[in-house]
Copies of this chain bind each other. A is one copy, B any other.
Amino acid sequence: MVNQVQRGDGSWQSCKSDSSGASNSGGESSKESSRCSTPVLDADRSDRLRDKMRKRTESGDCWFSLEFFPPRTASGAVNLISRFDRMGSGGPLFIDITWHPAGDPGSDKETSSMMIASTAVNYCGLESILHLTCCNQTKEKITGYLAKAKHLGLKNIMALRGDPVGADWEEEEGGFNHAVDLVQHIRSEFEDYFDICVAGYPTGHPEAESYEEDLRHLKEKVDAGADFVITQLFFRADTFLKFLDDCRAIGITCPILPGIFPIQGYQSLRQLVNLSKLEVPEEITEVIEPIKDNDAAIRNYGIQQAVEMCRVLLDSGKVPGLHFYTLNREVATMEVLRQLGLWIEDPRRPLPWAVSAHPKRKVEDVRPIFWASRPKSYIYRTQDWDEFPNGRWGNSSSPAFGELNDYYLFYLKSKSSKDALQQMWGEELKNEESVYEVFTCYITAQENQSGHKVKCLPWNDEPLAPETNLLKDELEKVNRRGVLTINSQPNINGKPSTDPVAGWGPAGGYVFQKAYLEFFTSSENVTALLKVLKKYEPRVNYHIVNVHGRNLTNAPDMQPNAVTWGIFPGREIVQPTVVDPVSFMFWKDEAFALWIEQWANLYEDESPSRMIIKYIHDNYFLVNLVDNDFPLESCLWQVIDDMFELLDAPPETHHDGEVSE
């Protein structure tokens, strides 16, 4: 009954849900189209890395990838995760993390390769390759690392021998002697679960008997089950292109990606040459030697050299992607990629929130709005779920959210130091109004009383998002008066999905939002607010809660309320954000705790400043408001105005002369 379907472009495919085909039928596959910034693309979201490579090779859409090494310190870990977020927005197809046995790379420490790679996948939404070296390792240990990687959500391994310990290393019987042994082991123990990458050496491995011998060794690794090759760095395009031709000539058919290393400084180049045993070509030394004391000039030259070399590689038509050795630095790599036109300047989001790349989360497409500024916390608190909501929120069984016991996990903690936070949030607080002022300065980006810009708040580790910036004036007004906003979005009535501020998802669609406002405020305000809200029913939905869990809502049947949705060509509706009364009760614990964990803890025990924050924590309410009538201008500011008007109104006199409010 159901047979092959001929697609509009003439190709045939079987009539079943099939993820083949570009997400744009017949249109250009341009950066403005459906190409989104994170590697977790709409159509590609379920694809494994080698399939993503295959599709992009077929469509001619060149990619880049980035290699990092694990940090040495805990604060280094925090910085590296921020770097992942920043560099991730430029659109790498994948990143990889190197492995160094001396650094306890398979442990749970925040400095381990395993934890860094896992964080990149889970919290930064980046397709990631974990390097793994095998020499001096037992099979059990290796299998243990692989199983742990799989559990954490890692899907790709770069299989390496590593540097054997000891000068005269002898081959072990039944041990891992070469990378090919590791490739075989992975395929034997885990079958096709992992995509496997191996290393190639364009001028032959330093320890190989000959260039040809090393080529055969590479073929062995690929035949054993590797999916693609990343090469050692090189200095001339034709070095790589020759190597590529030689690989093809002996029957290596998988993708072979060049490793690009922009020269960053004179000493770093010399170090590199010692380690890699490569020769620096004359044309490079000629330029570098004269300027060897001028690191800035060398960096500029390094960028130019890399750009020219990459252009030749790309123009050959044989190089589908470029792999960059970043040395954990941003500037040079980003500059090279920009000049090549590969860096995505205006990243488009597949969804309004940061997607996680853990395989079990691949169908996740709806979340409560409350964690909009704390997506990593959301991922953390839901990490034990087996299934993730898709399509609708309400119909998935909502298991409980995990507790957030540690606000200082390296991927959760603030990027600012305690000193910086004190400068921003007040060395000393006089009263509640001091707190209001901090919020106001955050909104307006103006300096606070001690001359510092407030760049973050406990609930928002970044400055105001562009979309929220649209509401700046209204937000300032209300924060001044003690409506302390921590989350908001404007109403949107069908903007194109390519809108630079509000857009998300594939191009050609339309995005919508209901106006939303979430804030802390005093119980006096809440009393007035409740009276005002009666007039706005049922247009405005609200939920009001204090730290003890006492709460009120008019959510019909406690059902989730859609607040963001999009309509796209040829697709079902996407509804990525809801206001869910049940989740709000879990969120509130975190929202209230942040007063204490991040702010109160800046001050001494029993200090007046601490008591002020504690008072707010104990007595204020957290309020969320939704204006359901999204085609109309948001009425939420009027609701707040009405509340203040009621508070400011003189008390009424009763006919019997008694004063009442």
Q: Does A359 contact B (CB under 8 A)?
A: no
CB pair B570 A555 closer than 8 Å: yes
Q: Is A415 part of the binding interface, using a Cβ–Cβ cutoff of 8 Å?
A: no
What are the residues of chain B within 8 A of A16 when measuring CB–CB?
558, 582
Interface of chain A residues 618 through 635 with chain B (CB within 8 A): 626, 628-631
A544 to B556, CA, bound (A): 43
Chain B residue nearest to A585 in the complex (CB): B2
Instruction: Find the B residue at minimum CB distance from A514.
Output: B567
Instruction: Tell whether A572 pairs with B582 under 8 Å between CB atoms, given A17-B394, A391-B391.
Output: no
Shortest Cβ distance from A564 into chain B, in angstroms? 10
**B572→A394 contact, CB < 8 A:** yes
Q: Which residues of B lie under 8 Å from residue A423 when comparing CB positions?
A: none
A59 contacts partner chain B, Cβ-Cβ < 8 Å:
no
- Kindly state whether residue A383 has any CB partner on chain B within 8 Å: no
Provide the residues of chain B in CB contact with A551, threshold 8 Å: 5-6, 15
Interface size class of A (residues with CB under 8 A): 35 or more
With A17-B582, A391-B395 as contacts: A570 and B628 at CB distance below 8 Å = yes
How far apart sit A16 and B583, CA to CA, in the bound complex (Å)? 11
Contact A561-B571, Cβ < 8 Å, known A549-B2, A628-B508: yes
Given A26-B537, A510-B631, CB of A15 within 8 Å of CB of B559: no
Q: Mark A2-21, 1 if CB is under 8 A from B, else 0.
A: 11011111000101111111
Contacts of A571 in B (CB 8 A): 556, 559-562
* Residues in B whose Cβ lies below 8 Å from that of A582: 2, 15-17
B586→A5 contact, CB < 8 A: no
Asked if B15 contacts A585 (CB within 8 A), the reply is yes
Q: How far is the CA of A363 from the CA of B394 in the complex (A)?
A: 12
Interface digits, A523-551 against B, CB 8 Å rule (1 contact, 0 not)?
00000001001100111011000000111
Q: Which chain B positions have C-beta within 8 A of A530? A: 8
- Known contacts A5-B553, A390-B395, A582-B16; A537/B27 CB under 8 A: yes
In the complex, whether A102 has a CB less than 8 A from a CB of chain B is no
| Residue numbers in B under 8 Å from A542 (CB-CB) | 8
Name the B residues within 8 Å of A541 (CB-CB): 569-570
Residue A94 lies at the interface, judged by CB distance under 8 Å to chain B:
no
CB of A1 closer than 8 Å to a CB of B? yes
A25 with B556: CB separation less than 8 A: yes
What is the distance, in angstroms, from A511's C-beta to the closest C-beta of chain B? 12
**Nearest B-chain residue to A19, judged by Cβ:** B557
Contacting residues of chain A (473-499) with chain B, CB-CB under 8 angstroms: 493-494
Instruction: Determine which residue in A17, A512, A585, A626 has the highest number of CB atoms from chain B within 10 A of its CB, and name it.
Output: A17
Whether A565 pairs with B558 at a CB distance below 8 angstroms is no
Chain B nearest Cβ from A168, distance in angstroms? 57
Contact present for A8 and B552 (CB under 8 Å): yes
Cβ-defined partner of A537 (8 Å) among B8, B19, B392, B562: B8
Contacts of A9 in B (CB 8 A): 554
Among the stretches A150-158, A266-274, A573-581, the one at the interface with B is: A573-581
Interface presence of A304 (CB below 8 A): no
Does chain B have a CB within 8 A of A79? Answer: no
How many angstroms between the C-alpha atoms of A19 and B5 in the bound complex?
Answer: 45
- Tell me the complex Cα distance, A171–B442, Å: 86
Q: Is A43 an interface residue when CB atoms closer than 8 A count as contact?
A: yes
Q: Could you tell me the distance in whole angstroms from the C-beta of A577 to the nearest C-beta in chain B? A: 11
Given contacts A26-B537, A27-B538, A510-B631, contact A552 B391 (CB under 8 A): no
A328 located at the interface, meaning its Cβ lies under 8 Å from any Cβ of chain B in the complex? no
Q: Is the CB of A570 within 8 A of B565?
A: no
Q: A24: CB under 8 A from chain B?
A: yes
State whether A552 touches B6 (Cβ < 8 A): yes
Q: Which residues of B contact A43 (CB under 8 A)?
A: 556-557
The 10 A-B residue pairs with the shortest CB-CB distance, nearest first, are: A8-B554, A569-B628, A391-B392, A26-B537, A6-B552, A556-B570, A391-B391, A25-B554, A573-B575, A2-B585
User: With contacts A508-B629, A538-B570 known, what are 18 further pairs, Cβ within 8 A?
Assistant: A3-B549, A5-B558, A8-B534, A8-B537, A17-B557, A20-B557, A21-B557, A24-B556, A26-B554, A392-B572, A493-B494, A508-B539, A541-B570, A559-B572, A567-B630, A568-B628, A570-B626, A572-B578
Q: Could you list some 16 contacts between A and B, CB below 8 A?
A: A1-B586, A2-B585, A3-B549, A8-B537, A15-B585, A17-B394, A18-B558, A20-B557, A23-B556, A25-B537, A392-B572, A494-B631, A561-B570, A561-B572, A565-B567, A572-B575
